Copies of this chain bind each other. A is one copy, B any other.
Amino acid sequence: MDKKINFTILLNKNSTVPIYIQLYEYIREQIVNNNFKASNKLPSIREAASILKISKTTIENAYNQLIVEGYIENISKKGYFINDIGNFNYSKDFNSFKSISSSNYNELVYDNNGIDDTSFNAELWKKLYNRVLTDKLTNIYTNGSPQGEYDLRYEISEFVNNIRGGRTTPEQVIIGAGIQYLLGILAGMIKHNYNSVSIESPGYKKAEYIFEDYMFKINHIPVNSDSFNIDCLKTLNSNLLYVSPSHQYPIGNVMPINKRLELLKWASNVNGLIIEDDYDGIIRYDGMPIPCLQGLDNNDCVIYLGSFSKTLLPSLRISYMIIPKKLIKSYENIKYKYTQSTSKIDQIVLSLFIKEGHITKHLRKIRRIYKKKNTALTSYFNDKYNNTVKIINSDSGFHIVVEVITCKKYQDILETCKKNNILVEIVDVFPNKMLLSINYSGIKIEQITSFVDKLMQSIS
């Protein structure tokens, strides 16, 4: 116990891989291979900086990434320790409140929903669209492939492998107009072997609705701001699971690596399938994106869901589902039952947008834009509302999660927010306080403070 670890890594300062990532990958690998054992202590930041002759910030970045992914832990005044990735403690609190959003009964355009209106290069999109529409190769006069155009499936597969750490081929990719449509196809594909599904609670309701429609029995797995209850999952007689490990929706947790591995082990033991909803895993502000579960999976049991709605444009409808290799045959059997739901033209435009490198620039740009908004938002909360608001999660994606002290009824809060055109999701309700998810992607940077003031008037 408490054994001190020595680093034996040779950092390559001429590599294109940033130093902090080299260090992070080195430590991660040692933990996975059980060379760095549970409870062992890492060098302090100052020590590591001195040993490796790099800056303290670089060490901190690497350590923070490992913390957020659950590989290590920072124990206050003691230092950084390796977590037991085989046997992690998780909270067993059960949360019976069903999260509810102010959008449920309203068709308003919310000020804070949508995407930043400077993020999308409409001129470039136009140019590509015009090119594709009259390019003979597109052949807009015929039906598209039910699975999606090969060019786009190829680009998405490369994209997920490079940016999200996936391990996929174009044959595994299915394109569709939204996650819901794709889940419908999946349900049609697997319903003979699976009749129940376990879903995070609170979680992504729109996925749950589809499983309900397809008559799956729904099990709710409690999630709180600590973590996801795997014990509860194991007691259930169900081998299909829907999770959002990179950024739990709506609470915002990152699922620690030990839980990820435990989930994959569970799936392999019960011959199960894990549906990984990676709705905004690509956008993290501190450190790199958390690699997806799909890329960790050695047993071919993860179904990966991604979308371009938030990262590119919500008015386009392009989502994708990446199925395990073992399901390809089942998909082939039902493929011609379903018509493609995404415009063939949009598919080819997007494939060019990725192929010609625009997506990479675009992602860099939006990360910058949303980080600025995120910082402005959290700073203003901390400066002006630190007596009543505690920020729980704000390190990735397009919403933050806060705990607010309030005596108002949640119904009244939803009503007032609706009137004020503010989209909020009440994640949990406690005596005198509440857990809220607040979307900020659509607010202009100069309106952040007035938005927060309006929100706080509606809430407290």
Residues of A within 8 A of B (CB): 103-107, 109-110, 113-117, 120, 122-123, 125-126, 129-130, 133-134, 138-147, 177-181, 184, 187-188, 191, 205-206, 209, 213-215, 309, 313-317, 336-346, 442
Contacts and interface: CB of A to CB of B under 8 A. Distances in A.
Chain A contact residues: helix, strand, loop or mixed: loop
B315 A180 contact: no
B180 A177 contact: no
Contacts of A114: 139, 141-143
Nearest to A318: B343
Contacts of A215: 214-215
B177 A109 contact: no
B145 A120 contact: no
Contacts of A146: 107
A336 B103 contact: yes
Nearest to A340: B317
A13 B24 CA distance: 86
30 contacts: A107-B145, A109-B139, A109-B142, A113-B142, A114-B139, A115-B142, A116-B141, A120-B140, A122-B133, A126-B134, A138-B315, A139-B315, A141-B313, A142-B315, A143-B315, A177-B177, A177-B181, A178-B339, A178-B341, A180-B339, A180-B341, A184-B184, A184-B213, A188-B213, A191-B213, A205-B337, A206-B337, A209-B337, A214-B214, A315-B343
Contacts of A336: 103-106
Contacts of A133: 122, 125-126, 129
A177 B343 CA distance: 8
A205 B334 CA distance: 12
B341 A181 contact: yes
Contacts of A337: 205-206, 209
A363 B207 CA distance: 39
B187 A140 contact: no
A134 B125 CA distance: 11
A342 B105 CA distance: 21
Contacts of A342: 177, 317
Given A141-B314, A180-B339, A317-B341, A126 B117 contact: no
A345 B345 CA distance: 12
Q: Which 5 A-B pairs have the closest CB atoms?
A: A114-B142, A315-B344, A177-B341, A140-B315, A177-B177
Contacts of A314: 140-144, 344
A178 B146 CA distance: 12
Given A120-B140, A143-B114, A317 B130 contact: no
A442 B181 contact: no
Contact of A315 (B122, B144, B209): B144
A206 B188 CA distance: 13
A140 B139 CA distance: 26
Contact of A141 (B120, B178, B188, B209): B120
Nearest to A118: B141
A336 B110 CA distance: 15
B141 A115 contact: yes
Contact of A346 (B145, B206, B343): B343
Nearest to A309: B143
A138 B109 CA distance: 12
A126 B130 contact: yes
A159 B351 CA distance: 34
B339 A316 contact: no
Given A125-B133, A130-B130, A140-B120, A187 B213 contact: yes
Contacts of A143: 113-114, 309, 314-315
Contacts of A115: 141-142
A209 B338 contact: yes
Nearest to A345: B315
Contacts of A206: 337-339
A134 B122 contact: yes
A309 to B, nearest CB: 8
Contacts of A213: 184, 187-188, 191, 214
